[in-house]
Structure 1
Amino acid sequence: MTYADDDRKPRRSRLRVGLATVLFIFYLGFVMWVTMTPSLDGVGVDTVADRVLSVLHRIGVPESFGYMELEFAANIGMFIPLGFLLGLALPGWGWWLALILLPAYSIGIEWFQSEFLGDRVGDVRDIISNSLGAWIGTLIAATLRAMVHARDAKVLARAKWEEERARRTQRASRDPNRTAVLEELGVPVDRTPTAPTRQIPF
């Protein structure tokens, strides 16, 4: 099948979908470990948070930016990759589902923490921050996909235009009168009886 005969939209990249799906599964496992662990005291979270706050305050961040604000920002950052990867893995028509699924997942996390993890407390602020991060990541993925789709569409349109031009030139080359006109206009004319047809490079 040639470019000129192919009116389909640019194909979905299987490599992108497969890689995004694998990375999403691994990162989801990390998020589940962070959010479902009964206690993170043993991994030094408080110590790391104190060090981060100390650095931030030294570089000019107001002292009012404390542990709660850092936790809110960290929750946003944790869910950005989740939204980004899910936005890439979902079908083209369904990327927006991530805008619903991930906030629902965050609600489930907070419910599980409040019901089954005595040392963890469900917090509405965590749902808000997680949802914000998920939406940011998903919108970044949607923007990237739109840019790639537009680029691929232009490449296919250019290729189909060039192939159609080559076909018209070949047909004109069989007519001496048309050939003379084309040559006067400076249009290259292929005088071979047949010309190879380029195939779609997929």
Structure 2
Amino acid sequence: MFRRHPVLSIVTLLYLGVVGYITLGPQPPVGGKNGIVMQVLRILWEHPVTDWVTYNGVEFTANILMFLPIGLFFLLLFGRRRWWLAVLLPFLMTVSIETAQIWIPGRVSDIRDVISNTIGAVVGVLLGLALTAPRARRARRARAEARA
């Protein structure tokens, strides 16, 4: 894996390090009512078209977006045949993160994070499968022609 895709392997490890720091590192000071997220939400709540946006929805979506690259990177590293591994590993990572957060002061373990992170990994895997489909079809055709 590392020999086949050294740059992707390094990028994946760096990204996993960032995710680890974000999810297990020191909790950043919360902006509270004056934080940038709340300021943006207040602006959205002023308009009927966007007043449905909630803090929980933003957090859920952010978790999906954070794990989408992990699913994509793992699919590219492990290959299309092992797509299930690119879903299983992020799920297990998330369960481990949420379990560890139980003992980290200021952190809250939440089953919604497991759900949103896994959804993000699945979306990343599906994106990777879609992006690699043309090449996989060409390789399949070439193998079939070689046998014939």
Same fold (TM over 0.5): yes
Runs of 4+ in 1 over 3 A off after TM superposition: 54-62, 151-154
* CA deviation map 1:93-150 (0-9, x unaligned): 22321111111110111110112x1100100111111110011101111222222221
Q: Which has the larger radius of gyration?
A: 1
Structure 2 counterpart SS, 1:77: helix
Match for residue 125 of structure 2?
138
Q: Say if 2:9 is the partner of 1:21.
A: yes
CA contact (8 A) 2:45 2:52 kept: no
Listed as ranges, the gaps of 5+ residues in structure 2 are: none
Structure 1 counterpart SS, 2:106: coil
Q: Say if 2:34 is the partner of 1:53.
A: no
CA contact (8 A) 2:64 2:119 kept: yes
Q: Distance in 2 between matches of 1:149 and 1:18?
A: 21
| TM-score normalised to structure 1 length | 0.61
Match for residue 114 of structure 2?
127
Which one of 64, 85, 110 corresponds to residue 73 of structure 2?
Answer: 85
Listed as ranges, the gaps of 5+ residues in structure 1 are: 1-13, 161-202
* Aligned length in residues: 142
Structure 2 counterpart SS, 1:110: helix
Q: Say if 2:82 is the partner of 1:94.
A: yes
Q: Distance in 2 between matches of 1:61 and 1:100?
A: 37
